[in-house]
Amino acid sequence: MRYDVERLAEIARRVRYNALYMITKAGSGHPGGSLSAVDIMVTLYFNIMRYRVEDPFWEDRDRFILSKGHACPALYAIFYELGIIKKEELDTLRKPGSRLQGHPDVKRLPWAEFSSGSLGQGLSFAVGVALAGKIDKKDYYTFVLLGDGESQEGQVWEAAMSARKFRLNNLIGITDRNGLQIDGETESVMPIDPLADKWRAFGWNVLEIDGHNFSQIISAIEKAKESKESPTMIIAHTIKGKGVSFMENVVDFHGKAPSPKEWELASVELGGDSVE
Amino acid sequence: MNKLAMRDVYGETLLELGKLYPNLIVLDADVSKSTKTISFAKAFPDRFFDVGIAEANLMGISAGIASTGKIVFASTFSVFASGRAYDQVRQSIAYPNRNVKIVATHCGVTAGEDGAMHQAFEDIALMRSIPNMRVIAPSDGIEAKKVIKKIVELPGPFYVRLARPATPVIFDESYDFELGKGTILREGKDGVIVACGIMTYIALESAEILLRDGIDIGVVSMSSIKPIDVELISSLSKNYKYIFSCEDHSIIGGLGSAIGEVLPPTEAKLVRIGINDEFGDSGKFEELLKFYKLDPLSIAEKVREVILNDRI
């Protein structure tokens, strides 16, 4: 799929709507970090990545690993756009037996690639996937989306070190730099800046973009693909809760579902579900 | 007596399997000389990856490679494989049922002089409680080889616990390891010791000592701790008045606990012999066996005490 920016924007709007719908219906979940990551994920699935919806195990597919697993409502809403998830399934988020678990379950939903949820583990897994691609001389790319707070986990840096050692230029990381985590601003909870310098020091290519600008996301990934030896980290500056005025940059919406009244307001702002 | 070190056997077996399975990948975390994965590394440099001192990353990368259809062996010391990387084993490997074989060496007291910091007496308990994970503690070098050759064919995660030093060989080459099956090594009348890992040969020596005192004890090797041989345990409970579990692991959550969980309500009494909720200590592994009363004499003494006390 190579949708143009206009079409990406329309899909992103619907994905935001459905992600928030699911969370509201479930009565719990993580709206803030789901909404901040939507534009990045939509760009990957509808402009960048090579995959076959009907064959999630196709060995030449590009892989997307959502390391910040709590943003899975955005992933599920994308899967809904792709027809992997049916309309009535959107009402089952976080319910017993559902494919739409509170954090992605790759056994029930193989398109998810990785069962994330314990933060810090996705990049190591992605290193393994990218390394296997090198062993098998495959040309697929491995994309991994990290939360900015997630980079406080030590394992991220173990993985960062190893990605450079193994010269994984087929590995492209994106950090959803929305600046907030549950307890407050990343820079007051546990400072991660200068984040770009840290990744550079670990031998990565680093690019910084506006994570809500589709053209910038696309051109950054194109640039990352030109890398000869190094993995690339794209630091995408985003707004937590992006798209819903009263959620934007509000830390309390990290892990709190909207009330029915808030959903009413948000659904209007998001322009409703125009899928049908 | 012929002796073999399980870790040496592991290294040799990997080398053999590397030729047979082009999709076999081996990872280590800077202890390849000790775990013996180094022989595979030398023979197949394109299929061996050293991740350095980073056990969490070891498990995560292993899971990622396995997700592409490969068989991955990940090795480090048991204390790090089970404890340090517990969350990664649970989330990245076991939950999605990835085809990663964790082969951990220097188990229990066999870490020896390195002391408590390198001795996991909790690894069986930790690994056994994770869904999808299978746990095996081979009883000698021959069985270690058979186990490695068996699990390479069985999809999904395994935790295999190997000893560091050379220990007496119990099985011969005709032995065939079967997952979930124990082996009766010796029949007895007065009771039976069910052992795993290095404690199996020690249990055999204890049985010899006890026989001199007129106590006839059977010995069973229960290397497959999960799944465990429910049928055999059930039949032992019918045939013996006493079942002594024997392990170089905490009596909390290890082999003894696993037996207790499936023991039918019978007359048979289960006595758990192992590490009594303690941390490790420094010393040669034979010294440590004595220190923790897990040497042949101490175990014989314990068994004798239980049986004679009941007779009175």
pLDDT value of residue A1: 81
CB atoms B92 and A125 under 8 Å: yes
Q: Give the dihedral of Cα atoms B37, B221, B71, B52; nearest 10 deg.
A: -40
In a domain, B294, yes or no: yes
User: For chain B, how many structural domains are there in total?
Assistant: 2
Average pLDDT score, chain B: 97
Spatial contact of B84 and B111, defined as CB atoms under 8 Å apart: no
Domain identity same for B11 and B158: yes
For B72, the domain range is: 3-168
From the list B57, B68, B96, the residue facing A155 with the nearest CB is: B57
Spatial contact of A180 and A249, defined as CB atoms under 8 Å apart: yes
CB atoms B60 and A59 under 8 Å: no
Domain identity same for B191 and B302: yes
Q: What is the CATH number of the domain that holds A207?
A: 3.40.50.970
* Single residue among B111, B135, B168 that ends a domain in this structure: B168
In a domain, B177, yes or no: no
Closest residue in A to B65 (Cα–Cα): A128
CA distance linking residue A131 with residue A167, whole number of Å: 9
Q: Say if residue A42's pLDDT is above 90.
A: yes
Q: Which of B161, B3, B189 has its CA nearest to residue B83? A: B161
From the list B59, B68, B91, the residue facing A129 with the nearest CB is: B68
List, for residues B262-300, the tens digit of each pLDDT value.
Answer: 999 877 999 999 999 999 999 999 999 999 999 999 999
Spatial contact of A199 and A230, defined as CB atoms under 8 Å apart: no
Domain identity same for B253 and B276: yes
Who contacts A240 (Cβ-Cβ below 8 Å, separation ≥6)?
A: A32, A33, A35, A36, A178, A179, A180, A247, A248, A249, A250, A251, A253, A254
List, for residues B47-94, the tens digit of each pLDDT value.
Answer: 999 999 999 999 999 999 999 999 999 999 999 999 999 999 999 999
Tokens linked to B38: 């180094």
CB atoms B64 and A135 under 8 Å: no
List, for residues A201-228, the tens digit of each pLDDT value.
Answer: 999 999 999 999 999 999 999 999 999 9
Q: Give the dihedral of Cα atoms B250, B253, B255, B260; nearest 10 deg.
A: 130
Tokens linked to A199: 């990744």
pLDDT value of residue A274: 54
Question: Does the CB of A139 have a partner CB in chain B at under 8 Å?
Answer: no
Q: Say if residue A141's pLDDT is above 80.
A: yes
List, for residues A157-210, the tens digit of each pLDDT value.
Answer: 999 999 999 999 999 999 999 999 999 999 999 999 999 999 999 999 999 999
Who contacts A113 (Cβ-Cβ below 8 Å, separation ≥6)?
A: A63, A64, A65, A66, A106, A129, B67
- Closest-CA distance, A247 to chain B, in angstroms, reads 31
Q: Say if residue A275's pLDDT is above 80.
A: no
Domain identity same for B111 and B247: no
Strand segments (E) across B234-312: 242-250, 269-275
Domain identity same for B45 and B85: yes
List, for residues B222-254, the tens digit of each pLDDT value.
Answer: 999 999 999 999 999 999 999 999 999 999 999
In a domain, B176, yes or no: no
Q: Say if residue A276's pLDDT is above 50.
A: no
| Helix, strand, coil content of chain B in percent (nearest 5) | 45, 20, 35
Spatial contact of A150 and A119, defined as CB atoms under 8 Å apart: yes
For A115, the domain range is: 5-269
Tokens linked to B86: 């517990």
CA distance linking residue B162 with residue B141, whole number of Å: 9
Domain identity same for B199 and B157: no
pLDDT value of residue A129: 98
Spatial contact of B76 and B29, defined as CB atoms under 8 Å apart: yes
User: For chain A, how many structural domains are there in total?
Assistant: 1
Domain identity same for B117 and B210: no
CA distance linking residue B98 with residue B69, whole number of Å: 9
Q: What is the CATH number of the domain that holds B219?
A: 3.40.50.920
A101, A267, B59, B177 from A108: Cα distances, Å: 9, 29, 22, 33
> Which residue among the candidates B12, B16, B55, B208 is catalytic per the annotation?
B55
Tell me which chain A residues have a C-beta less than 8 angstroms from the C-beta of B68. Answer: 59, 129, 132-133, 136
CB atoms B60 and A128 under 8 Å: yes
List, for residues A71-92, the tens digit of each pLDDT value.
Answer: 999 999 999 999 999 999 999 9
Domain identity same for B120 and B241: no
Tell me which chain B residues have a C-beta less than 8 angstroms from the C-beta of A118. Answer: 87, 91
Q: Say if residue B197's pLDDT is above 60.
A: yes
A272 pLDDT tier (thresholds 50, 70, 90): confident
- Closest-CA distance, A162 to chain B, in angstroms, reads 6
Domain identity same for B40 and B95: yes
The sign one gets for the Cα dihedral B179, B181, B184, B188 is positive
Tell me which chain B residues have a C-beta less than 8 angstroms from the C-beta of A117. Answer: 91
Who contacts A97 (Cβ-Cβ below 8 Å, separation ≥6)?
A: none
Question: Does the CB of B6 have a partner CB in chain A at under 8 Å?
Answer: no
